[in-house]
């Protein structure tokens, strides 16, 4: 009897457990909502073709337009001057930069001048007797002959007799010998050809300077040139005298330059032409790195967009009835970040910013807060 009761209870427990499990399973059923279609927002602009200036970007380092490398043409001890011969020292035009000890050589010049004076003195009696008409001219020359000054030019010899007489006495030979020595003596002193500053110094005061030795460099710090390499495509477009915007990439300072020279030959290795831009500003220094923006030409009926918007095969995305489509375009110039395009119809709505995962036929929504019409 007891076994029968336990059996019946077991069966009832199993049946109740089954029904309870079904109730629990039914209560866990959920209905998944339908996924809503995501429509991405795009930034657009309406094309309005216009004249787009093509700006060629180039860069380089500034160099002084006026630069002099100082070399010794004579030998001697470098004397101390009124100003130190050091880097950064300024000199005005005509001021002595370098003075080399010339006492010994100066004595030989004075000796040659004395010899010329003696020769002239010795022929004066003969001139007075044989050529009284030219005597006063040569006597006046002797009176003005100053041993401490540069030898004056000989009087003009108007007749052949006068030329033969003066030359026959060796006066012409002595005169040109003196002028040659005086010219050599002037090389013991180097003067500033313009107002500038020393940028390089190789020797110091008291040094024995030898002929042909480099002494330093002297520049004009007011006017500089920027040498830039331009693609040969734009050689016919650049002109001397055109204005150029220059930018210092370190602090974004801007300067204004002018194209002063354009090389007549093309670099065979790089296929570029060198152009030289003159710029003057008190804040500039030699060796500064600047970027130049040259107005090469103006492209009619074109637009300019970001390079990232140009697809392979020279195509771009357009928006038609809230759906993306593509059209073919003609690129005419590429810069680092921008591209100039032609053959884009006016009034077409194009994407103005890249969209990740964009494809033809993609449904999009135009960003409503942007202006309706902007130039490309």
Structural fold of domain 67-102+188-219: OB fold (Dihydrolipoamide Acetyltransferase, E2P) (2.40.50)
pLDDT of amino acid 39: 79
Work out the average pLDDT over 319-331.
90
pLDDT at 24 over 90: no
Question: Is the confidence at residue 23, as pLDDT, over 70?
Answer: no
pLDDT per residue as tens digits for the range 179-218: 999 999 999 999 999 999 999 999 988 889 999 999 999 9
In words, the CATH class of domain 56-64+221-298 is: mainly beta
Alpha helices in 131-186 (DSSP H): 132-143, 160-168, 171-186
* Average pLDDT of the residues in 81-85: 87
Q: Please tell me the predicted confidence (pLDDT) of residue 213.
A: 93
Least confidently predicted of 314-323, 341-350, 361-370:
361-370
- Which pLDDT belongs to residue 1? 66
pLDDT digits (tens, 9 = 90+) for 121-172: 998 898 888 888 888 888 998 888 888 888 999 998 888 888 888 888 899 9
Q: Is the pTM of this model over 0.85?
A: no
The fold of 42-52+300-366 is 2.40.420
Question: Residue 92 pairs with which residues in a beta bridge?
Answer: none
First to last CA, the chain: 99
3-state SS string for 175-204: HHHHHHHHHHHHCCEEECCCCEEEEEECCC
Taking residue 66's Cβ as centre, other Cβ atoms within 10 Å add up to 16
pLDDT at 85 over 80: yes
Token pair recorded at residue 229: 């390499």
Domain boundaries, the chain: 1-30, 42-52+300-366, 56-64+221-298, 67-102+188-219, 104-186
């Amino acid at each position: 009897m007891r076994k029968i009761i336990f059996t019946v209870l077991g069966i009832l427990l199993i049946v109740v457990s089954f029904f309870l499990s079904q109730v629990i399973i039914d209560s866990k059923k959920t209905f998944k909502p339908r996924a809503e279609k995501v429509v991405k927002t795009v930034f657009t602009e309406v094309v309005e073709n216009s004249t787009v200036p093509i700006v060629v970007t180039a860069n380089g380092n500034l160099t002084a337009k006026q630069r002099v490398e100082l070399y010794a043409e004579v030998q001697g001890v470098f004397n101390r001057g009124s100003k130190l011969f050091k880097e950064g020292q300024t000199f005005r035009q005509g001021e002595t930069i370098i003075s080399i000890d010339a006492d010994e050589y100066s004595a030989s010049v004075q000796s040659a001048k004395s010899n010329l004076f003696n020769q002239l003195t010795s022929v004066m009696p003969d001139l007075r007797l044989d050529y009284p008409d030219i005597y006063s001219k040569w006597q006046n020359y002797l009176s003005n002959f100053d041993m401490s000054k540069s030898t004056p030019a000989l009087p003009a010899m108007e007749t052949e007799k006068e030329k033969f007489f003066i030359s026959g006495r060796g006066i012409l030979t002595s005169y040109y010998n003196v002028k040659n020595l005086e010219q050599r003596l002037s090389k013991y002193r180097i003067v500033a050809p313009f107002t500038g500053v020393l940028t390089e110094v190789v020797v110091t005061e008291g040094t024995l300077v030898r002929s042909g030795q480099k002494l330093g460099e002297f520049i004009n710090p007011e006017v500089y040139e920027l040498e830039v390499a331009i693609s040969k495509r734009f050689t016919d477009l650049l002109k001397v005298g055109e204005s150029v915007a220059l930018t210092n990439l370190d602090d974004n300072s801007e300067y204004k330059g002018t194209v002063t020279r354009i090389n007549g030959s093309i670099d065979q290795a790089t296929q570029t032409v060198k152009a030289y831009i003159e710029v003057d500003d008190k804040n500039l220094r030699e060796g500064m790195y600047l970027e130049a923006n040259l107005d090469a030409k103006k492209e009619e009926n074109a637009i300019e967009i970001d390079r990232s918007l140009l697809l392979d095969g020279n195509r771009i995305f357009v928006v038609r009835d809230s759906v993306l489509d593509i059209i073919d375009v003609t690129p005419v110039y590429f810069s680092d970040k921008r591209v100039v395009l032609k053959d884009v119809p006016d009034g077409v709505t194009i994407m103005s910013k890249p969209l990740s995962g964009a494809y033809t036929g993609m449904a999009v929504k135009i960003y409503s807060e942007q202006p309706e019409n902007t130039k490309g």
